[in-house]
Amino acid sequence: MSWQPAYLTLAASGELDRRVEQLEQLLAPCRLCPRNCQVDRHRELGRCVTPDLPLVASWGAHHGEEPPISGSRGSGTVFLANCNLRCVFCQNHDISQNPKAFRGRELSCEALAAIMLELQSEGCHNINWVSPSHQVPQLVRALALAVPAGLHIPIVYNTNAYDSREVLRLLDGIVDIYLPDLKYADAATAARLSRVANYPEVAREALREMYRQVGDSWLEDEGGVLRRGILVRMLVLPHGVAGIEEGVRWLAENLSPNVSVSLMSQYRPAHFAARPGRYPELHRPITPSEYHAALAALTRHNRSPNTYVQPYLGGLFR
C-alpha cells in the first residue's frame, strides 16, 4: 500500500472524532498548555488571549522552512495568532503578542478546514500548524472536517515546545512531523526572556513525548520531503544564552544522538530586544565565534544524517 498520513487511519476508525471531543474538554477549564489558566475558554480569555474559535493570522505556501519541510512546492503554513510564551526577541511579535489586532477575527472550524484544503490544492507538501499549542482543539476539529473532503498530506506541528504532555498524547497518530524548538537549557534565562521559568523542564518532557511517538526515524518521499519524523530547532543566541551545548547533549543522552536537529543562525534583535538598554545580552546578532561554538557542540553530540545546519547569517543583520 502507498504511504498515507496516520490521521487518515484514525478518521476511518472514528478515533479522530473521539480525539476532537477529548481535546475540546480541555478548553474549560483550560489546561491546553502548561500555563494551566483554568479559565472557561468559551467565555473567558486566558494568558494566550484566545477564544474557543480559531484565530489565524495568515496562511500560504512557505518556502523558507528547512528543505525537507518546504521541499520544492512549499509548506502549507497556517500561522496561528497569539502565543502562550512572551519571548522578548520574537521575530513574529506582531502575530504572537498583539492580541488586539486579532480581536473579532475568529474563523469557524469549517473555514479553517477550507484553508487546509486550499493549501493542499496549491500543491503544498504538508499542512504546517505554526504556534498551535493554545489552539489544538480548533485545529484538530478542522482537520476532522477536512478529511472527508479529501485532505491527505502530513501535518507538521511547529511549536515552541511549551506544550502539555496530555495534549501531545492526544495528538499521537494525528501528527506525523514534529518541528519543536528547544529554546533554553536554563530556567532563569527562560523566565527572563520568555516569561516562563519552567520552560526547560516542560520542553524536555514535551520532546520525550514527541520522540515516543515518532522516534528518530526519518521517512521522506521520493523528492526528499519529510513525511514522518522529528526535527528539533535550536536558535543560536548571543553570549551563549540558549545553552546549545547542554541542549544537544541532553537530546543525545535522553532521547537519541540520532534525533535530527536544525541549528539556526538567523537571530537578529527584534521586539523588546531591539530597544537599546532593555536586553543588552540580545542587542546584537551572533558572532562567528558563537556560531562555530554551537556548531562544534552539535558535532560532539549529534549523529543524525538528517541534521540541518543553517549557514552563518549574522553578518547580514549588522
Q: What are the DSSP calls for 11-53, one per residue?
A: HHHTHHHHHHHHHHHTBTTB-SSTT-----TTT---TT---SS
Average pLDDT for residues 303-317, to the nearest whole number?
85
Assess whether pLDDT exceeds 60 at residue 317: no
Assess whether pLDDT exceeds 80 at residue 101: yes
Average pLDDT for residues 85-100, to the nearest whole number?
96
The closest alpha carbon to 219, from 211, 210, 228, belongs to 228
Average pLDDT for residues 284-295, to the nearest whole number?
97
How high is the pLDDT of residue 108? Answer: 98
Confidence bin at 316 (pLDDT 50/70/90): low
How high is the pLDDT of residue 313? Answer: 82
Confidence bin at 1 (pLDDT 50/70/90): low
**Do the beta carbons of residue 47 and residue 34 sit within 8 Å?**
no
Residues 33-56, buried b or exposed e (16+ Cβ, 10 A)?
bbbebebebeeebbbbbbbbbbbb
Assess whether pLDDT exceeds 60 at residue 236: yes
* CATH architecture, domain defined by 6-317: Alpha-Beta Barrel (3.20)
Task: Supply the pTM of this predicted model.
Answer: 0.97
Assess whether pLDDT exceeds 90 at residue 135: yes
Q: Can you read off the three cell numbers belonging to residue 242?
A: 540558549
How high is the pLDDT of residue 2? Answer: 83
How high is the pLDDT of residue 4? Answer: 94
Assess whether pLDDT exceeds 90 at residue 315: no
Assess whether pLDDT exceeds 90 at residue 243: yes
Q: Can you read off the three cell numbers belonging to residue 187?
A: 530556567
